[in-house]
Structure 1
Amino acid sequence: MSRWHFSRIVCSFVLLALSACASAPDHINDICSVFDQRDSFFNNWQTAAERTERKYGITVPVLMATVRKESGFKPHAKPPRTKLLGFIPWKRPSSAYGFSQALDGTWAQYKLESGNWGARRSNFADAVDFVGWYHSKTVDKYGVAPDDAYRLYLAYYMGWGAYGRGDWKKDAGVQKYARATHEMAQRYAGQLKDCR
């Protein structure tokens, strides 16, 4: 086999592996299915989530439920644009982007504090590490249990300042999101026992 043919095969393999990760997995309510679909040499989501759990002490089900709620596992997720005059696409309400829906400023803080300078919000391993970092700071600052998906998500969604002030107590919508995230984490925890 010539070098040219070998290079072409390697490039095709790499492009195939990368294209498989460019969209959200199917069956996102089944953690075993999600992990099975993202189990490759270049991009193993279960390994990344388990590494984050060991690093920050936040359980895999909580990490994955947070990413599921924030982006539906879409690497390039952004909040929908607002509408000008009710129908003209306009600005986005925030700079949230990627798997974790991290805001520009919080992502910059994460890169600075973690030393992960090359981190990208569209890279699952970086995004799940960000979620673990964020949740662990909530645990340290507010004494939330590391497996309390409800309160961790409240702080994640509202931000530390708003969570600390208790702004979420007046927001039934965010409480509903947090309950759904908690329920998803519990479901993932049950499924994870069968797929390890």
Structure 2
Amino acid sequence: MSYHAKRLLPLLAALGLLSGCASIPRNTANTCAIFEERSGLLTDWRRDAERASAEFGVPVSVLMATIQAESNFEAGARPPRRWYLGFIPGKRISTAYGYAQALDGTWTEYQKRTGRYGDRRNDFADAIRFIAWYHADSNRRLGIAKTDAYRLYLAYHSGHAGYGRGVWRERAEAMRGAKRAQAMERRYAAQLRTCR
């Protein structure tokens, strides 16, 4: 490798990282458009989604719909802060972060159970793998079909124990998210059949 090529590699890697996570895809309602926009030298979201799907048996459309419902594909998404006196920032309402909006504790459990200690919540490939893992675990623990975007989302939002207790019935945001995930899954599934 030439001297100039070696000097360019870090720059190309930085540009690839920026292009892969710095902005929200332009059309988050179209999975084909998302995959086309996020396909390049250093990033390939379709490949990442298909790998996670193949590993855990959860359809790509379900995985993408979960991310859309949780973060709308924003790498650094966080819940809002509480504010005191209208201008003093307080703590955030939860530790949810990244594409998957995974909580600190749930992410740590995932890392321990899978040995993937280097995975990051703001990395698309890591986040979509986490969602596939979690949905497969919901299938195993709760008997939810891996194709059931609605119930998988409820279990994802409420946690496995919370889903089992039915806490989502009292959470309007969980019900809205599940309906959004179900609608997006149907849309994404239809789109995926036509993607190049």
- Structure 2-normalised TM-score? 0.94
2:125 corresponding residue in structure 1: 125
- Residue type matched to 1:12 in 2? L
Q: Quick one: distance in 1 between partners of 2:11 and 2:118? A: 25
Q: Quick one: distance in 1 between partners of 2:134 and 2:52? A: 11
- Residue type matched to 1:135 in 2? H
1:116 aligns with 2:116: yes
Q: Quick one: distance in 1 between partners of 2:151 and 2:15? A: 39
Percent of aligned pairs with the same residue?
45
Q: Quick one: distance in 2 between partners of 1:118 and 1:2? A: 30
Which one is further off, 80-89 or 186-195?
Answer: 80-89
Aligned residues: 195
- Residue type matched to 1:121 in 2? R
Q: Quick one: distance in 2 between partners of 1:19 and 1:170? A: 39
Q: Quick one: distance in 2 between partners of 1:183 and 1:118? A: 33
1:31 corresponding residue in structure 2: 31
2:168 corresponding residue in structure 1: 168
Q: Quick one: distance in 2 between partners of 1:30 and 1:185? A: 11
2:68 corresponding residue in structure 1: 68
Q: Quick one: distance in 1 between partners of 2:51 and 2:73? A: 18
After the TM superposition, list the runs of 4 or more consecutive aligned residues in structure 1 that deviate by more than 6 angstroms: none
- Structure 1-normalised TM-score? 0.94
Per-residue CA deviations over 1:78-119 (Å, capped at 9, x if unaligned) read: 111111134422110111111111111100110111111211
Q: Quick one: distance in 2 between partners of 1:171 and 1:14? A: 42
Name structure 1 gaps, 5 residues minimum. Answer: none
Name structure 2 gaps, 5 residues minimum. Answer: none
1:78 aligns with 2:78: yes
